[in-house]
Amino acid sequence: MTKKVEQLIRAKEIGFMGKVTASLSHEIKNTLAIINESVGLMGDLLGKDAPKDWPPYSRLTNLLVSIEEQIQRSAAIVKRLNQFAHSMDKPLVDLDLHELVRQITTLAQRFARLRGVQLEVETAPESLMIHGDPFRIQYVIFGFIERALWRCSPNQTKVTLVCSPSEDMAQVIVKDQGSPEGDWLREQIAAALSPTGISPGEQDPELAILALTMAELGGSVEIEEVGKNGNKVILSFPAKMH
């Protein structure tokens, strides 16, 4: 099987997953809309017909407000799921890297919260357009965010994403305030991209896949240490991927 055919099969598989997920998110949105109208109707009927001095009145109205807030919360989650699913529609599209970074950072927020690490994104309001694979770009950025979170101590540190153009590339910088691992990261990435590699026991397989995916996307990964505490992972994506 040629590499082109393998890529085509993988794109179709990812597209299938995206299609099913988008369809399910649409169904969830419909059920939320039904719950929203039913709760709204209950509130309308309560406001119209129930005596205000009826003991459970204020308790019921408070509960309805709480349900409405949870519907809005769920709708926002489903919106993120739907956007993520649509990132799998096509392997190559024109995309705004700023917007994509904002989306994937939002998806990673829960992972940061669970670790007690602050996750922030600093992107300019204007677009940073590139032609590329939104799903795989998100996969790589998420992978490096996750590793940055692991390096951080809970409740003390933060991870920041910065997005900027750089000549004919676009960069996403993942900065963390965790323990410095520059040498180890550089060694791992170089080994993953080298034909000889290093012995399987010493290779971090997930990091290797991230490095190989970056290479397949035509991009590169550079590592910088930031003082005694912190690392800077610079992901450079070509403005036009093939």
Out of 6, 8, 12, 38, the only residue in the binding site for other proteins (CB under 8 A) is 38
Of 31-39, 155-163, 203-211, 218-226: span binding other proteins (CB under 8 A): 31-39
Tokens of residue 214, six digits: 């970056």
**Least Å distance between CB 186 and other proteins?**
39
Selected binder of other proteins within 17, 41, 65, 212 (CB under 8 A): 41
C-alpha to C-alpha distance for 71 and 35, rounded to whole angstroms: 8
Q: Is residue 81 part of the contact set for other proteins (CB under 8 A)?
A: yes
Q: Exactly one of 33, 63, 65, 190 binds other proteins (CB under 8 A); which one?
A: 33
Q: How many residues bind other proteins (CB under 8 A)?
A: 27
Phi, psi of 74 (to 5 degrees): -65, -40
Q: Choose between 46 and 60: whose C-beta lies nearer to other proteins.
A: 46
Question: Judged by CB under 8 A, does residue 29 bind other proteins?
Answer: yes
CB distance 141 to 173 below 8 Å = no
Nearest to 111 by CA among 75, 149, 76, 63: 149
Contact 102, 123 (CB under 8 A): yes
Does the protein bind other proteins through residue 58 (CB under 8 A)? no
Q: Which is nearer to other proteins, 69 or 122 (CB)?
A: 69
- By CB under 8 A, tell whether 48 contacts other proteins: yes
Q: Does 75 bind other proteins (CB under 8 A)?
A: yes
What does the alpha-carbon distance between residue 233 and residue 141 come to, in Å, rounded to a whole number? 10
Interaction with other proteins in 163-202: which residues (CB under 8 A)?
Answer: none
Under the binding rule (CB under 8 A), the answer on residue 70 touching other proteins is no
Report CA-CA distances (Å) from 168 to 131, 137, 164, 236, 241. Answer: 12, 17, 11, 10, 11
Q: Does the protein bind other proteins through residue 71 (CB under 8 A)? A: yes
- Which residues of this protein are in contact with other proteins, per CB under 8 A? 22, 25-26, 29-30, 32-38, 40-41, 44-45, 48, 71-72, 75, 78-83, 86
